[in-house]
Chain A
Amino acid sequence: MSAEKQIELVGINKHYGSFHALKDINLTIPKGQFVALVGPSGCGKSTLLRSLAGLESISGGTMKIGGEVMNDVPPRKRDVAMVFQSYALYPHMTVEQNLTYSLRLKRVSKEEMKRATEEVAKTIGLSQLLHRYPRELSGGQRQRVAMGRAIIRHPKAFLFDEPLSNLDAALRVHMRKEIRALHDRLGATSVYVTHDQIEAMTMADHVVVMRDGVIEQQGSPLELYDRPATKFVAGFIGSPAMNFLPATIGPDGRSVHLDADGLGNLFIKGVQDPGRKVIVGLRPEHLEVGPISTAAITLPIGVVESTGSVTYLTGSGDVDLTVVVTGRSDIRPGAHVGLSIAPERVHVFDAETGQAL
Chain B
Amino acid sequence: MTEKWTNRILLLVALALAALYLFPLYWMYVTSLKTGSEIFATPPGMVPTNPQWGVFAYVWELRGMGRFLWNSAIIASGTMALTAILGTGCAYVLARYRNIWIDVALFLVLMLQVLPASLMITPLFVGFSQFGLLNHPQLAVILAVTAKVMPFFVVLVRATFMSVPGELEEAALVDGNSRIGAFWFIVLPLARNGILVSAILIFMQAFGEFVYSKSIIQAVELQPASVGLNAFMGPNTTEWNNIMAYATIYVTPILAIFVILQRRIVSGLTSGALK
Q: A55-B173, A88-B165, A90-B186 are contacts. A76–B274 as well, Cβ < 8 Å?
A: no
**Contact of A338 with B by CB under 8 A:** no
- Stretch of A28-36, A61-69, A78-86 at the chain-chain interface: A78-86
Distance in Å: Cβ of B180 to nearest Cβ of chain A: 12
Contact between chains at A101 and B173 (CB < 8 Å): no
A85: chain B residues at CB < 8 Å are: 167
Q: A76-B178, A86-B165 are contacts. A91–B190 as well, Cβ < 8 Å?
A: yes
Give the complex CA separation of A153 and B171 in angstroms: 13
Contact flags A115-127 to B (C-beta < 8 A → 1, else 0): 0000000000000
Contact between chains at A76 and B176 (CB < 8 Å): yes
Residue total for B at the interface (Cβ-Cβ under 8 A)? 18
Q: Given B168, B177, B186, B190, which contacts A76 in the complex, CB threshold below 8 Å?
A: B177
Interface residues of B in 233-275 (CB under 8 A from A): 274-275
Give the complex CA separation of A55 and B168 in angstroms: 12
Residue total for A at the interface (Cβ-Cβ under 8 A)? 25
A81: chain B residues at CB < 8 Å are: 174-175
Give the complex CA separation of A75 and B167 in angstroms: 13
Give the complex CA separation of A54 and B174 in angstroms: 8
Contact between chains at B190 and A75 (CB < 8 Å): no
**Contact of A185 with B by CB under 8 A:** no
Give the complex CA separation of A260 and B171 in angstroms: 53
Give the complex CA separation of A237 and B173 in angstroms: 34
Interface residues of A in 95-118 (CB under 8 A from B): 101-102, 105-106
Contact between chains at A75 and B173 (CB < 8 Å): yes
B274: chain A residues at CB < 8 Å are: 91
Contact flags B179-192 to A (C-beta < 8 A → 1, else 0): 00100001001100
10 closest A-B pairs (Cβ-Cβ)?
Answer: A88-B171, A88-B167, A102-B175, A105-B176, A75-B173, A76-B176, A82-B174, A75-B174, A84-B167, A102-B176
Q: Which B positions have Cβ atoms within 8 angstroms of A?
A: 165, 167-168, 170-178, 181, 186, 189-190, 274-275
Q: Which A positions have Cβ atoms within 8 angstroms of B?
A: 53-55, 74-76, 78, 80-82, 84-86, 88, 90-92, 101-102, 105-106, 135, 149, 153, 159
What 7 additional pairs, Cβ within 8 angstroms, besides A84-B167, A88-B168?
A74-B173, A74-B178, A76-B177, A90-B172, A102-B175, A153-B175, A159-B174
